[in-house]
């Protein structure tokens, strides 16, 4: 499948999100767990997530509460978008950023989701959306999740489905997702049966996480 072709991708159910997160945690895939978590908790497109640099996620030694993707990396390049980062996302991201530090990635310009296959320099190279798709499909296979309709855009659609349960109107959801067209938002929200809508509505997302030390803003030594 073309990594850029996202039409027809489906949201992930909550049990699928938890299974995939557990797989990444159990296999020590801190990087992949981090972009996966940012994707389904912030709703950025995969290219937007992979554009993040350390300066975008760390401030004064702590993981930020709000993540901003600049206009240059947004679809259409008309405006940037800022999204609050769920506490689970902050903990998972902190674990990966700390690992980056141990590997020598301390430059604020360095990409957060580094590729290990390319020669390093101060900024490094982010993994590609195609690499992310391969990782996601491999994780789905390991978890017994059919991946025919699963893509990296499934994370954004999962986020949209969660919003449906907590925001009062489709217009509010449109603003949170950064859609230019209300019709696009409505297509997102009609892609799964009502029983799945009910399953994600109003969920307070939490996962078992050994890195949770009770701090609102995880400290990273970078």
Task: Answer yes or no: 45 catalytic.
Answer: yes
Q: Which residue among 90, 153, 157, 162 is the active-site one?
A: 153
Among residues 40, 45, 47, 81, the one annotated as catalytic is 45
CB atoms within 10 A of CB 121: 9
* 81, containing H or E segment: strand 81-84
- The whole-angstrom separation of Cα 74 and Cα 82 is 11
Q: Which of 9, 23, 156, 162 is catalytic?
A: 156
Q: To 10 degrees, the CA torsion angle through 188, 190, 194, 198?
A: 20
- Identified catalytic residue from 10, 23, 31, 179: 179
Q: Is 55 a catalytic residue?
A: no
Of 31, 47, 162, 188, which is the active-site residue?
188
Dihedral of alpha carbons 3, 6, 8, 12, sign? positive
75, 134, 148, 201: the catalytic one is 75
Active site residue 188: yes
Is residue 75 part of the annotated active site? The answer reads yes
**CA nearest neighbour of 211 among 114, 58, 97:** 97
Token match 């994600």: residue? 200
Catalytic residues: 45, 75, 153, 156, 179, 188
């Amino acid at each position: 499948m073309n990594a850029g072709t996202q039409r027809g991708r489906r949201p992930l159910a909550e049990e699928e999100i938890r299974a995939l997160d557990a797989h990444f945690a159990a296999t020590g895939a801190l990087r992949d767990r981090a972009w996966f978590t940012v994707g389904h908790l912030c709703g950025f497109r995969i290219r937007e997530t992979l554009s993040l640099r350390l300066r975008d996620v760390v401030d004064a030694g702590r993981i930020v509460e709000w993540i901003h993707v600049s206009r240059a990396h947004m679809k259409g390049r008309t405006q940037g978008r800022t999204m609050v980062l769920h506490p689970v996302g902050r903990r998972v991201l902190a674990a990966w950023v700390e690992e980056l530090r141990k590997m020598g990635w301390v430059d604020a310009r360095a990409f957060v989701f580094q590729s290990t296959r390319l020669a390093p320099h101060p900024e490094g190279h982010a993994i590609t959306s195609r690499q992310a798709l391969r990782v996601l499909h491999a994780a789905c296979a390991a978890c017994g999740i059919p991946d025919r309709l699963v893509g990296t855009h499934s994370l954004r659609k999962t986020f949209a489905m969660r919003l449906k349960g907590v925001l009062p109107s489709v217009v509010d959801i449109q603003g949170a997702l950064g859609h230019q067209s209300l019709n696009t938002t409505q297509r997102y929200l009609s892609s799964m049966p009502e029983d799945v809508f009910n399953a994600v509505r109003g969920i307070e997302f939490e996962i078992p996480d050994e890195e949770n030390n009770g701090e609102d803003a995880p400290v990273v030594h970078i």
